[in-house]
């Protein structure tokens, strides 16, 4: 491949372009009218406007993107994450057009893109699964019978779900019917698919995911785990590698399970297998068939460039290393810097970056897509940057992150930096004794904000694009709903 188009924007587009430049490959940016002056556009070797600001009129127009590729003699497309990265139809069209799609096959995407089909595919590969059903169920009474057998509390989940949509915890038999109907209705509204299934509710889980790489020659390796348990609204905010909880034996077992999941769907490329962990047990959750937002922490502890590895695999090359060659080097933390106001229910806070100064120093990395004076557009996910620190030990990585947050100077909008500083210095996080309910345990909902007038318009524009691009950072609320605020529980 001599020329790659990045079918994305912002920090991930810039991130992919840097690897292309390092490999001597020319990069092509596509941009909406809102991103015309963004850093990723100027960094690319070539750039083409793909449409107006809304993502459904620009970044989601696969046919237009392929047309640009043909006009500019592009060899491959890197989809980044979000937007079209897990769109099997787009990947199929790209391949049909004679362009290399830098990612897995459309068939792998389709299998793993549906929670039920994923469970059915991996269940014969000796992968630990949460006790429950691996098929959709519609009959309320039959579903109640299965729930009785599984034992309460149980979880009703949308097969095509994500971000907490179509998900309901049921504490007892009496509330089952109401909760199941609500889950189905929400799934239809959010995904156009009302299929739901039930499984045991894992009450205090940790979210641990395994990065895998698989080439076209039958080689699959695990690049160890990332801990992603600090979340709000079922969305990751802080990630680290390695996890503070895993023993070497458990790490090896989970890595082997992740590789079997990848092999179960004939996976090729970089992918992430997600697990729930509780009390020494782990259970398969799902597989993300793309690069993850949090991939930098894995790059740091493995000394690998995951984008470079993706491109090499897409070119048909064998992995240059085996599982036994891989070692963990130190510890890495990542916090997502969102243009959101933690003191106002984490609502997006759109405005101008009047001051924007990045932290620097040894062991500090910033992946971003903005410069001072730029506006945060209302059309896309409000993530400004990913701030990453790394050090020989977890304790030192936390100290570096604390200082880096303090040195990150952003004026003009509210951000999640103070929230992240609070979280990483909380006793529960420092000790490693936390789970996905961190916010629930250590924050309290203090009020309900009336998101009306200008606030509602602002939120509506952003959220519409969250759901359109199906990004993993999409919000789990709607502008018409009451959004609960979180504030520090100082008791």
Cα angle 317-328-301, degrees, rounded to a multiple of 5: 75
pLDDT of residue 134: 84
CATH class, range 3-102:
alpha beta
pLDDT of residue 162: 66
Q: Which residues of the chain have pLDDT under 70?
A: 161-163, 443-491
Tell me whether the CATH fold assigned to 3-102 matches the one assigned to 131-200.
no
Question: Helix or strand or coil: residue 459?
Answer: helix
pLDDT of residue 334: 98
Report the alpha-carbon distance of residue 197 to residue 116 in Å, rounded: 8
pLDDT of residue 135: 87
Give residues with Cβ within 8 angstroms of 453, minimum separation 6: none
Residue 386 bridge partners (DSSP): 336, 367
Say how many Å lie between the first and final Cα of the chain, rounded.
58
Residues of 314-329 as b/e, b for ≥16 C-beta within 10 angstroms?
beeeebeeeeeebebe
Give the catalytic positions in this structure: 290
Q: Is 107 within 8 Å of 266 (Cβ atoms)?
A: yes
pLDDT of residue 192: 87
Q: Enumerate the H helices of 265-375 as residue ranges.
A: 295-302, 306-314
pLDDT of residue 325: 98
Q: For the chain, which residues make up each domain, given as ranges?
A: 3-102, 131-200, 206-469
Per-residue pLDDT tens for 249-272? Answer: 999 999 999 999 999 999 999 999
> What's the token pair of residue 159?
């097969």
Q: For domain 206-469, give the CATH superfamily.
A: ATP-grasp fold, B domain (3.30.470.20)
pLDDT of residue 161: 67
Q: Is 355 within 8 Å of 410 (Cβ atoms)?
A: yes
- Measured in whole angstroms, the distance separating CA 210 from the mean position of its chain's CA atoms is 13
Q: Enumerate the H helices of 127-171 as residue ranges.
A: 140-150
Q: Is 115 within 8 Å of 127 (Cβ atoms)?
A: no
Give residues with Cβ within 8 angstroms of 64, minimum separation 6: 50, 51
The continuous run of DSSP H or E covering 475 comes out as none
Strand 154-158's sheet: what is its strand order?
167-170, 154-158, 196-200
pLDDT of residue 178: 94
Cα angle 32-373-364, degrees, rounded to a multiple of 5: 95
Q: Nearest 5°: phi and psi at 226?
A: -125, 135
pLDDT of residue 163: 63
Residue 332 bridge partners (DSSP): 241, 390
pTM value is 0.87
List the one residue out of 402, 429, 433 whose CA is nearest residue 418. Answer: 402
Q: Which CATH architecture has domain 131-200?
A: 2-Layer Sandwich (3.30)
* Other Cβ atoms closer than 10 A to 15: 24
Report the alpha-carbon distance of residue 464 to residue 482 in Å, rounded: 17
């Amino acid at each position: 491949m001599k020329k790659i188009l990045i079918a994305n924007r912002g920090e991930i587009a810039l991130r992919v372009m840097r690897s292309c430049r390092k490999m001597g490959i020319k990069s092509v940016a596509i941009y909406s009218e809102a991103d015309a002056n963004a850093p990723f556009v100027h960094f690319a070797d070539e750039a083409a406007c793909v449409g107006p600001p809304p993502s459904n009129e620009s970044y989601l127009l696969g046919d237009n993107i392929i047309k640009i590729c043909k006009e500019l003699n592009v060899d491959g497309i890197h989809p980044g994450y979000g937007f079209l990265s897990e769109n099997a139809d787009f990947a199929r069209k790209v391949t049909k057009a004679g362009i290399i799609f830098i990612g897995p096959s459309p068939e792998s995407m389709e299998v793993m893109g549906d929670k039920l089909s994923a469970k059915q595919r991996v269940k014969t590969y000796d992968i630990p699964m949460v006790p429950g059903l691996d098929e959709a169920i519609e009959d309320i009474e039959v579903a109640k019978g299965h729930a009785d057998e599984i034992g309460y509390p149980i979880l009703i989940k949308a097969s095509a779900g994500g971000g907490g949509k179509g998900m309901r915890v049921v504490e007892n038999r009496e509330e089952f019917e109401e909760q199941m109907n609500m889950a189905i209705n929400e799934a239809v509204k959010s995904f156009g698919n009302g299929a739901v299934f039930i499984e045991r509710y894992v009450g205090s889980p940790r979210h641990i995911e395994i990065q895998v790489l698989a080439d076209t020659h039958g080689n699959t390796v695990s690049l160890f785990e990332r801990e992603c348990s600090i979340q709000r609204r079922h969305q990751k905010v802080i990630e680290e590698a390695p996890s503070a909880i895993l023993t070497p034996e458990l790490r090896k077992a989970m890595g082997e399970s992740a590789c079997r999941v990848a092999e179960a769907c004939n996976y090729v490329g970089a992918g992430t297998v997600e697990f729930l962990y509780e009390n020494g047990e782990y259970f398969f959750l799902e597989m993300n068939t793309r690069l993850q937002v949090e991939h930098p922490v894995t790059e740091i502890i493995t000394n690998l460039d995951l984008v470079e590895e993706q491109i090499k695999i897409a070119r048909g090359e064998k992995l240059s290393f085996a599982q036994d060659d891989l070692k963990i080097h130190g510890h890495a933390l990542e916090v997502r810097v969102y243009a959101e106001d933690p003191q106002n229910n984490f609502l997006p806070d759109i405005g101008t970056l009047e001051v924007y100064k990045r932290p620097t120093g040894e062991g500090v990395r910033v992946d971003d897509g903005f410069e001072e004076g730029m506006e945060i557009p209302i059309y896309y996910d409000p993530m400004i940057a990913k701030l990453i620190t790394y050090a020989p030990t977890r304790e030192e990585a936390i100290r570096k992150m604390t200082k880096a947050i303090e040195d990150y100077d952003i004026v003009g909008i509210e951000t999640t930096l103070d929230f992240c500083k609070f979280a990483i210095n909380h006793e529960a996080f420092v000790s490693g004794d936390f789970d996905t309910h961190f916010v629930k345990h250590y924050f309290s909902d203090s009020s309900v904000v009336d998101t009306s007038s200008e606030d509602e318009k602002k939120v509506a524009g952003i959220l519409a694009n969250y759901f359109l691009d199906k990004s993993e950072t999409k919000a789990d609320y709607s502008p018409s709903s009451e959004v609960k605020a979180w504030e520090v529980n100082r008791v």
